[in-house]
Structure formats: structure tokens, C-alpha cells
Amino acid sequence: MQLTFENKTLDQLAIELIQAYEPPDGYYLGFSGGKDSVVIEHLTHRAGVKYSAHYCVSPIDPPQIYSFIKEWYPQVKWDNHAKNFWNVHVMRHGLPTRLARWCCEIIKEAGGEGRVKILGMRREESLGRSKYKCFDNHGKRGDWLLPILNWSEADVWQYIAEHNLPFSALYHHGFRRIGCVLCPFAGKIEVKLSYEMFPKIVQNWKLAADRYIQKRIERGTPMTHKTGEEYFNWWIARK
């Protein structure tokens, strides 16, 4: 299929991209429960291609995400790749940072091995994503199709409004982006709201920091931080 760009709306171009790269076994659509995944699911459905939507279960997602997907997207399959997250993965790697974001690989990027993935990433979200291509190979993470890569946040909300699509109530509380609680890439507003709305998950992070530091003390491993509290405070300061 040859793509043309003249006199096409953003959604028309996205649909043509989805149709152009359709694999024989259908797409693996990554559905996070956020506004971008709502849009790509609707676009993929409109494109009339074969696909299956998957939510990679995250133990650090807001519980409202679970409720939203169950209510509005019962067809989405739940994939659990992050078992023993707190007791195994955090103890092995420590708290995730922007430079050591191991959590995404374990939670969000583990599904769809060997399949072409449709994902809702957009260039304006980060410097790293600004360099992505609409269709590209990402090594062991496979081939990615990013049909709304060039969309702005306003474009996403306009599409949701025009097609009367459901979206998580968390956006009404002030979240611009929703996802893992205290994600290293979360903004100050999201961090503040997380303390107010998800105290149990925040407490789990603090307990994990305590256990991690204690484990290193027992092993005699050299440390910059002497206590779990000091470690957590450094981590949440995002310096």
C-alpha cells in the first residue's frame, strides 16, 4: 500500500499506516488504559485489520486503571509479566531511575514477543521519543508501529471528544499522563497527586527502599545511602 500525505487528516494518515503495515498474524496492541491507548485502539478498529489488545498488568498502576479497562474494554487481554515485582525485581535492581528504567522492560515491554506491536507513543512526550520513527525495529523489543507519533496532546483529546470515547476519570483529578505510580518520568503534579490518591503504593515503594538498603548492608555492599528513608528521599527528589 502506498501512502500519500496530501489533504489527509491525522486520523486518516494513522489508519493508512495501520493498514499498510498489517502483519499476517495481526497486531499486538499495547493497551495501558491511558488516553493514547484509547485512541490507537479505536483507530486500529476503524482500520479493519486483525489485532488483539493487551494490558500488561502493572502492580504499580493506579487501581482506577484496572476498573476502567474492565468496565469499558472487556475484550482487552491481561498479561502478567511482572510477578514478584517487589520481592524479586526491586530487590535485584533497586528503585528505577530515568537512567536505569528496568521496570518498563519487565512490566510494559515484555508482551508481544515476535509480533508487530502497535503502541501509543508520541514525539512530544520526551526527547527520546522525539527521535522515534512511525515504524521501526527496536531490537529485542521487536517491530513497533506508532500511528499517533506526530500527534499533540490536544490532537488526542480532540479525537476522543469527536468520537465520544471513554477515558479514565484520573484525568479529571489533574493527571496529564497516567501510568505507574511514582514513575521516574512522572511530573511534579503526578507525584503530588500520587501521594494523595495512592498512599498504599507509595508506602510499598518506601518499604521496598528499606528492604533494598537492608539487603545491601547484610551483604556488605558499599552504599551511598545509609538508610531506606534516605534512599527513598533521594529517589523521589529526582535529582
Q: pLDDT digit string (tens) for 46-86? A: 999 999 999 999 999 999 999 999 999 999 999 988 888 99
Coil, helix or strand for 132? coil
Q: What's the pLDDT tens digit per position in 9-39?
A: 999 999 999 999 999 999 999 999 999 999 9
Q: Are 119 and 40 in contact (CB under 8 A)?
A: yes
Residue 15 to residues 8, 39, 178, 229, Cα–Cα distance (Å): 11, 11, 25, 49
pLDDT at 23: 96
Question: What span, in angstroms and rounded, lies between the C-alpha atoms of 47 and 57?
Answer: 26
pLDDT tens by residue, 86-108: 999 999 999 999 888 898 888 88
pLDDT at 1: 42
Quickly count helices (H) and strands (E) in the chain: 9, 6
The conformation of residue 214, written as its DSSP 8-state character, comes to: H
Query: What's the pLDDT score for residue 125?
Result: 86
Query: Residue 168: its pLDDT value, please?
Result: 96
Separation CA 190–CA 69 (nearest Å): 20
Q: How far apart are CA 194 and CA 66, in angstroms?
A: 16
Is pLDDT at 211 greater than 60 in this prediction?
A: yes
CA 3 to chain centre: 28
State the maximum Cα–Cα separation within the chain, in Å, rounded to a whole number.
65
Q: Say whether 239 sits in a helix, a strand or coil.
A: coil
Claim: this prediction has a pTM higher than 0.85: yes
Q: Please list, in sequence order, all residues whose beta carbon lies within 8 angstroms of the beta carbon of residue 77, skipping any fewer than 6 positions away.
A: 52, 53, 54, 55
